[in-house]
Chain A
Amino acid sequence: MIDDSQPIYLQVAAQIEEQILSGDLAPGDQVMSTTDWATFLRINPATAAKGINMLVADGLLHKRRGVGMFVSDGARTTLRHRRHDAFFVDHVDPLATEASLLGIPIDDVVARLRATAAAATNGATHNPESTASTSSVTESE
């Protein structure tokens, strides 16, 4: 869960950000405490606190004294905006470089991206509505 790619406190912050982006943590939801994160990831509580406090400073989380840490309104939108630019630099540009290195036509890359994105969208929506249809197929025994 913890690796050497970046300092641990940044990884703690990134894990919470992922949960906000995926919707696992919605505005108003309580976030695990510093101690919970520390024991869960087997890291020093100060390191966990540093990661969490970074998100508080960014306004993504807020503290309620004596109660705990909660996800702020608009946290997901803020994160999406912030990650938008980084996405092209971190993911798309290296993709283009690697594709050109391997002589893969950009059109092939785009086609693959479309297919993967379509599959991801189908997968993401299967929860509430399409689960019913999926299970009705398997239940027709």
Chain B
Amino acid sequence: MTSTDSAHIDTSIEVTDLHLQYGSTAALAGIDLQLRPDRIIGLLGRNGAGKTTLLSILAGHRRATSGAVRIGGLDVWETERMRDVFLIGEGEAASDSGRLRDRARFVATLRPNFDRALFDTMLTMFELDSRTRVSKLSRGQRAAAGVALALASRSPITILDEAHIGMDAQNRYALWDLMLADYAAHPRTIIISTHHVDEVANVLEDVVILEAGTVLRHAIVDDLVGSAATITGPTSRVDELVEGMHVVADRSLGATREVTVTDVDTAALRTRAGSGVRIDTAGLQDLFVHLTTAARQGDAAAQTAPQEASA
């Protein structure tokens, strides 16, 4: 197209005090976020945590009740910005009667960076034919086609809202390989929302964990995982080691205790632990489960014992 190379726009995203109210239910209850530009970001949360709601507001598909979303300093509602964000959700375009190549042509008219060759490569990879009508595709094929459109759009901000969920394992692996290679060549912001964390954990650079419409955690994955540990050993030794630490999970089997802690100096912990106590890395999926579970238990505890909540 023209000289407008929107691949190099500032893709930092600033979300300020975002609320979305459905009647008496708060889907988003005050989100504040500053997303670094050109990262692969994971948006994690349990069902109903507000992932899809937040993403649809980021993409300008829906208005918030209050608060602001700025991309590169500009309001997301500016037409120029809306062109730069591509959101694809799960099972999108189910009733589309056109062919895949028509979809591609349509997307290309709206997205100046759309790369038809990349789209065709992905179709081949996913064993899809561009002449097939979208309505004739299976659930998994439709998901694959949607993801292919999203990545081939090379939109400065590309959002996969559980878009990959219906794809089979072979295609998902192929997708991550291609996404990493294309991202390295064309850095941009890619937001992946999912609650199947294990599979995407390694491809993410940053992570945002939502819980009950608020941000529970926003971190660099390496920092979060690098400062967490699972400690297993005799109860008394483990108790002594984790004294004063932020414990997010805790279970006992006889005289053995297994505790997961976050925000610790794991190197120092290993040195202090010595023999007889095992220190393991806690994976992102485990931390996600522990942190969200602890948050709910914390809420419950805060409601029953409000005087201790400030501890």
Which A residues are within 8 Å of any B CB, using their own CB?
2, 4-9, 34-35, 38-39, 41-47, 50, 93-94, 97
Contacts and interface: CB of A to CB of B under 8 A. Distances in A.
A38 B180 contact: yes
Given A47-B205, A94-B275, A42 B177 contact: yes
Given A47-B202, A47-B222, A94-B275, A6 B281 contact: yes
23 contacts: A2-B202, A4-B281, A4-B283, A7-B222, A7-B225, A8-B222, A34-B184, A35-B181, A38-B180, A39-B181, A42-B176, A42-B177, A42-B202, A42-B203, A43-B203, A44-B202, A44-B205, A44-B221, A45-B180, A46-B222, A47-B202, A47-B205, A47-B222
A94 B278 CA distance: 12
B18 to A, nearest CB: 26
Contact of A50 (B180, B202, B222, B283): B222
Size class of the B contact interface (CB-based, 8 Å): 20 to 34
B37 to A, nearest CB: 13
Contacts of A94: 275
Nearest to A9: B222
Interface of B: 39-40, 173, 176-177, 180-181, 183-185, 202-205, 221-222, 225-226, 275, 280-281, 283
Given A42-B202, A44-B180, A45-B184, 16 more contacts: A4-B283, A6-B281, A7-B225, A8-B222, A9-B222, A35-B180, A38-B184, A39-B177, A41-B202, A42-B177, A43-B202, A44-B204, A44-B221, A46-B205, A93-B275, A97-B275
Contacts of B40: 44
Nearest to A7: B226
Nearest to B226: A7
A38 B40 CA distance: 13
